[in-house]
A and B are shown apart, each in its own frame.
Chain A
Amino acid sequence: MTDKLKQPPGDLAIWIFICAELSVFAVFFAAYAFTRAKHVELFNQYQQTLNTNYALINTLALITSSYFVVRAVAAIREGSQRGCARWLLAAIAMGALFLVVKSMEYQHHFSHGVTLSTNTFYMFYISLTFFHFMHVIMGMVILAAVALKARRGAYTADRHTGVETGASYWHMVDLVWIILFPLVYVMR
C-alpha cells in the first residue's frame, strides 16, 4: 500500500513544528512591514546597499534544492534507496552553496562596520536573514540524517515517512526564503 493519499505527508509532529516556526517568521515579517511603513525612506536607502545578485543566486539555489528533494521523495517511492540518498546529497550541496553565498554577503556588510545597532533596517536585515540562515543549517542536518538512513536502507517504497518529514521541513525553509527575498531585497 502506498501512502500517496496520506495528508499531510510525513510525520504530524513536524507539521506542528513547521506551523510554530512559520508563525515566528510571520510575526517577524509583520514587524518588518509595520516598521518599514514608518521609515520608508530609511529602508529604501539602505536596501540599495544589499547585493540582489547574491540573493538571486541563493533563491535559485534553494528552489533547485527543493526540486532535488522532490526527486528524492520520488526516488524512494520507486524503492530506490541509493537514488533517494543521492538526490538528498545534491539538495544538501545546494544548501551549502546558499550558506557560502550568504556568508560572503555578511562578510561584505560586516567589513563595512554594519552591526545590529547600525540602524533599524540593518537590524531587521541581519536578524531575519540570520534566523533563516540557522534554519538552513538545521534543514541540512535533517536532510543529512535522512540521507544516511536512506543509504542504510531504512526506508522502502511503502515506508518512508522519515523522507517526507525531512522534505517537508526543507520546503518550509525554502518557502520562508521565497517570502524573505522579495520582502527584504526587492520591494521598494
Chain B
Amino acid sequence: MKYKSQSVAKLYFIAAIALFVGQILFGLVMGLQYVVGDFLFPEIPFNVARMVHTNLLIVWLLFGFMGSAYYLVPEEAERELVAPWLAKLMFWIFLIAGAATVAGYLLVPYAKLAELTMDDLLPTMGREFLEQPTITKLGIVVVALSFLFSIGITILKGRKTVVTLVLLIGLTGLAVFFLFAFYNPENLVLDKYYWWWVVHLWVEGVWELILGAILAFILIKTTGVDREVIEKWLYVIIAMTLITGLIGTGHHYYWIGTPDFWQWWGSIFSAMEPIPFFMMTIFAFNMVNRRRRNHPNKAAVLWALGTAVMAFLGAGVWGFLHTLSPVNYYTHGTQITAAHGHMAFYGAYVMIVLAMVSYAMPMMRGRKAANSPRSQVVEMWSFWLMTVSMVFITLFLTGAGILQTYLQRYSDQPIDFMTVQDKISLFYWLREIAGVVFLIGLVLYVVSFFIGTDDPEAVEKIEVDAETA
C-alpha cells in the first residue's frame, strides 16, 4: 500500500462482505419459500425476504465500488485521498442508514414503514429495487455526493489516468441516474420508463464502466503489461458498452406502453450488448498471457479472469437469450429473468468486487503483495465453490424458466401460474441445494481471511521467457 489514506477502503470491504453474507442468507430463505411457501411466515414473508435479498446486494456492491475507488484512486492519482475523514464519516452514515432500512423492512409492515418515514411528503417508495424510504434515498444522495467529491478532487489534483477517468464517469453516472429514483410520475408508463433509467442504466451502463476501470487497474497491477495497451482496450470496451447499453434500455420498453420503435431499437442494440463483454474476456486473458511478471497473488488474478468469463456468460449470453422482442414476448418476467439476473450480478459485479478485495486486502493488512499460500488455497476453493454453484443455480433456474414459459404461455393448453410453479418445484429444490453450496463457498471465503495469517507470504515465481511462450 503506497498511500496511508487508501486504508479507508478496508472498512468498506469488511462491511461489503458482511452484507454479502446477509444477502445470501435471505436468498436461501427465499429459495426455500419457493417450495415451502409458509417457511418463516409471518415473521419474514416472501416479499420482504426478496426486498432484503436484492437491496442488500445493491448496497454491498456499492460499498464494494466505493472501497475499490478509495483504494485505487490514490494509487492512480499518486497522492493521498482528499478528506479521508469524510470517507470514514460517510461509511458510518451509509452503514447505519442501510441497517436501519433493512431493520425497517423486517420489523414493520411496508405500508407502516412508508407512513413512519413520511413517504407522502415525497412519495418514492413501493417500486421494485427502489423500495427504500425516501429519507434513505436522500441519505444515499448525500453519501454519493460526498464520495464523488473526495474521489473527484483527488483525481483532479493528482495524476489523471484513463482508469480514473473511466471510473469517475461511471461513478458520476451512478449518482446522476439515481436521481430518477425521486421521479415518480402518476402515469404508470412514464413511471416504469424512468424507473429503468436507474435500474438498467446502472447495471447495463455506468456500472460497466466501473467494472471496466477496476478490472483494468487489477490487470495493470498483476500482469505488468504496459498501461497504454490496457487503456486502449478500455476505451474500445467502454465505447461499445455505452453505444449498446444506453439504447439497449429499449429491451425493457417492449410491453409497458411505449412506442413501437422500441421493439426494434431494443432488440437490435441490446443484441449487441454481449460484444463489449466478449471483448472484456479476450482482453483479460490476452493481458494475463502477455504478462511481464507472475504476481504472487494468484487468487486475485483468478477472480479477475473469473469476472471476465462469468460476466460474458451471465450478462452477455444469458442476457441475449431473452432480449429479442419476439422471444421476450414469451419469456418476460419468468425464471429466465431470474437465471440471467443471478449469473450476471455474480459474474460482473460480485466477482469484480471480490477481485479487488482479494487484490487490496493483503496489502491493507500489512502484507507486501499477497496472502500466504495456505490462505490463497482456501480462497481459491471458495472461488470455485461459489462460481460452480452459481452456474448450477443459473442452469436450474433456466430449466425452470423454459418449462414455465412453455407450460404457462406457449403450449396449446396453457396452465395457470401456481399450478406451473408446483410442476417445476424440482428445479427450485435443486436451486436451493446449489444455493447451500454457494453459502459454503462464501463461508470458506470469509475463513480464508483468518487462515495462514502467521505464515510467510507467497512469493513471486520468476518465470523464464514468459514473453516468448
B251 CB to nearest chain A CB (Å): 14
**A14 CA / B235 CA spacing, docked (Å):** 10
Q: Any chain B CB within 8 A of the CB of A104?
A: no
Residue B236 interfacial (CB < 8 Å)? yes
Could you say which of A13, A14, A21, A123 contacts B261, with CB atoms under 8 Å apart?
Answer: A123
User: Quick one: which of A24, A27, A116 contacts B259, CB cutoff 8 A?
Assistant: A116
A116 partner residues in chain B, CB cutoff 8 A: 259, 261
What is the total number of residues of chain B having a CB less than 8 Å from a CB of chain A? Answer: 20
Given contacts A23-B272, A24-B243, contact A13 B236 (CB under 8 A): yes
CB–CB A27/B236 < 8 A? no
Residue of A nearest to B262 (CB): A116
Within 8 A of B (CB), among A1-43: 11, 13-14, 16-17, 20-21, 23-24, 27-28, 31
Is the C-beta of B240 less than 8 angstroms from some C-beta in chain A? yes
Asked whether any CB of chain B lies closer than 8 Å to the CB of A117, the reply is: yes
Q: Is the interface of A mostly helix, strand, loop or mixed?
A: helix
Residues from 144 to 180 in B contacting A, C-beta threshold 8 Å: none
Contact across chains for B261 and A117 when beta carbons are under 8 A apart = yes
Q: B264–A127 contact, CB under 8 A?
A: yes
Take A11-B232, A116-B259 as given contacts and tell me if A23 and B275 are in contact as well, using a CB distance cutoff of 8 Å.
yes
Verify if B265 is at the interface (C-beta below 8 Å from A). yes
| A31 close to B264 (CB less than 8 A) | yes
Closest residue to A28 on the B side, CB-wise?
B268
- By the criterion CB–CB under 8 Å, are A24 and B272 in contact? yes
- Docked complex Cα distance between A24 and B271 (Å): 9
Residue of B nearest to A124 (CB): B264
Contact A123 B264 (CB under 8 A): yes
CB proximity of A65 to chain B, nearest CB, Å: 22
Tell me what chain B mostly uses at the interface: helix, strand, loop, or mixed. helix
A11 and B279 CA atoms in complex are apart in Å by: 16
Contact A20 B265 (CB under 8 A): no
Q: Is the CB of B243 within 8 A of A16?
A: no
Q: Bound complex: CA of A123 vs CA of B250, how far in Å?
A: 14
Give the docked Cα–Cα distance between A102 and B232 (Å). 33
Within 8 Å of chain A (Cβ to Cβ): is B445? Answer: no
Whether A13 pairs with B264 at a CB distance below 8 angstroms is no
Contact of B235 among A13, A117, A123 (CB under 8 A): A13
CA distance A11 to B265 in the complex (A): 30
| Contact status B259-A17, CB under 8 Å | no
Q: How far, in whole Å, are A28 and B260 apart by their CA atoms in the complex?
A: 16
Q: Which residues of B contact A24 (CB under 8 A)?
A: 243-244, 268-269, 272
CB of A117 within 8 A of CB of B259, answer yes
B319 to chain A, nearest CB (A): 16
Shortest C-beta distance, B434 to chain A (Å), equals 34
Size category of the A interface is 10 to 19
Check B260 against A27 for contact (C-beta < 8 Å): no
Q: How far is the CA of A28 from the CA of B264 in the complex (A)?
A: 9
**Hey, which chain B residues are within 8 Å of A117, CB to CB?**
259-261
CB <8 Å contact, A17 and B239: yes
Question: What number of residue pairs across chains A and B have CB atoms under 8 A from each other?
Answer: 42
Question: From residue B78, how far is it (CB to closest CB) to chain A in Å?
Answer: 25
Nearest opposing residue in chain A for B260, CB measure:
A117
| A16-B279 contact given A24-B243, A116-B261, CB 8 Å threshold | yes
Give the distance to chain A from B235, nearest Cβ to Cβ, in Å.
7
Taking the complex as formed, is B429 at the interface, i.e. its CB lies under 8 A from any CB of chain A?
Answer: no
Q: Are B264 and A20 in contact (CB under 8 A)?
A: no
- B233 within 8 Å of A (CB atoms): yes
Q: Nearest CB to that of B275 among chain A residues?
A: A20
Complex: chain B residue closest to A17, CB-CB: B236
Query: How many angstroms from the CA of A16 to the CA of B278 in the assembled complex?
Result: 11
CB distance from A100 to the nearest CB of B (A): 25
Residue of B nearest to A23 (CB): B272
Q: Which of B207-240 contact A (CB under 8 A)?
A: 232-233, 235-236, 239-240
**Could you tell me if A17 and B240 are in contact, using CB atoms closer than 8 angstroms?**
yes
Cβ–Cβ < 8 Å partners of B232 in chain A: 11, 13
Q: Contact mask B251-274 → A, CB, 8 Å, 1/0?
A: 000000001110011011101100
For B240, the chain A residues whose CB sits under 8 A away are: 17, 20
The reply to whether B236 and A31 contact each other, CB–CB distance below 8 Å, is: no
Contacting residues of chain A (114-144) with chain B, CB-CB under 8 angstroms: 116-117, 123-124, 127
Q: Which chain A positions have C-beta within 8 A of B267?
A: 31
CA of A23 to CA of B265, assembled, Å: 14
Among residues of B, the one whose C-beta sits closest to the C-beta of A30 is: B268
CA distance A36 to B239 in the complex (A): 31
Interface membership of chain A positions 61-77, coded 1 if the CB is closer than 8 angstroms to chain B and 0 otherwise: 00000000000000000
Contact A27/B268 with A13-B233, A116-B259 known, Cβ cut-off 8 Å: yes
Which residues of chain B are within 8 angstroms of A27 by Cβ–Cβ distance? 268, 271-272
| Docked CA distance A127–B267 (Å) | 13
Nearest residue (CB) in B for A119 is: B260
Q: Which residue of B lies closest to A35 (CB)?
A: B264
B337 CB to nearest A CB, Å? 23
Give residues of chain B (302-325) contacting chain A, Cβ–Cβ below 8 Å.
none
Interface residue from B235, B244, B265 paired with A127 (Cβ < 8 Å): B265
A85 to chain B, nearest CB (A): 23
> A13-B235, A17-B239, A117-B261 are contacts. A31–B268 as well, Cβ < 8 Å?
yes
Apart from A16-B279, A17-B236, A23-B272, list 18 A-B contacts with CB within 8 A.
A11-B232, A16-B236, A20-B240, A20-B275, A21-B243, A24-B243, A24-B244, A24-B272, A27-B272, A28-B268, A31-B267, A116-B259, A117-B259, A117-B260, A123-B264, A124-B264, A127-B264, A127-B265
6 sampled A-B residue pairs with Cβ under 8 A: A20-B272, A20-B275, A27-B271, A117-B259, A124-B264, A127-B265
Q: In the A-B complex, list the 5 residue pairs whose CB atoms are closest, starting with the nearest.
A: A116-B261, A117-B259, A123-B261, A13-B236, A13-B232
Binding site for B on A (CB under 8 A): 11, 13-14, 16-17, 20-21, 23-24, 27-28, 31, 116-117, 123-124, 127
